[in-house]
Amino acid sequence: MTSQETQTEGGRRRVTLPPSTPDKDTPSKKGSDEPNRISHTEFQKRVTSDRSDEAVFSCQFEVFGIVQGVSFRMYTLRRAQKLGVRGWCKNTNENTVKGEIQAHRHSFESMRLWLKHTGSPTSRIDKCIFSETTELAEFTFTNFTIVVD
């Protein structure tokens, strides 16, 4: 493969490589070595569909610390949507955020870890307390929502 050098402003050189083409003697990498790539939308369809036989886990939570305002609730909503978690959250008069989450095992555990350790970059969570985890036959919420009093 050869390159072509071109002069640019300021005396810098930019090297332009021709598009790579596989040699006739080199076998193609297509096949079992290369994974099949799918779009994020297709992945979400596969993850959320045909899971009716899996258990749904549910628990309530309360987050303590500087969590009032829109940012923590919005970050929680976005994370829940990304993970496919259902439930709700709201600010309380005690300056905490309460809520409930429902999801299949992997998404449920991922959301619990996120609430406990990450949260919003601006929230400065002191601690997060979870109620007992219960197993449900099916979801009781259709999505994740922010409850406004």
Which of 73, 79, 86, 112 is the catalytic position? 73
Helix ranges, the chain (H) = 40-48, 70-83, 105-113
Structure tokens at 8: 């640019």
2-29 pLDDT tens trace: 555 555 556 666 666 666 555 555 555 5
Domain contains 32: no
Is residue 73 part of the annotated active site? The answer reads yes
Domain span including residue 78: 51-144
pLDDT of residue 62: 92
Q: Return d(Cα 116, Cα 102) in angstroms, integer.
A: 16
pLDDT of residue 1: 47
Is residue 91 part of the annotated active site? The answer reads yes
Q: Return d(Cα 143, Cα 86) in angstroms, integer.
A: 5
- Going by C-alpha positions, the residue among 133, 125, 109, 146 that lies closest to residue 62 is 125
Sign of the alpha-carbon torsion through 7, 9, 10, 15: negative
Give the three-state DSSP class for 124. coil
β-strands 86-91, 97-104: how paired?
Answer: antiparallel
- Residue 124, pLDDT > 80, answer no
Supply the mean pLDDT for the chain: 77
Domain contains 13: no
Distance of CA 72 to the CA centre of its chain: 15
Domain contains 129: yes
Please count the structural domains in the chain: 1
- Residue 85, pLDDT > 70, answer yes
**Quick check: 49 and 43 in contact, CB under 8 A?**
no
Which of 46, 91, 112, 143 is the catalytic position? 91
- Return the CATH number at 83: 3.30.70.100
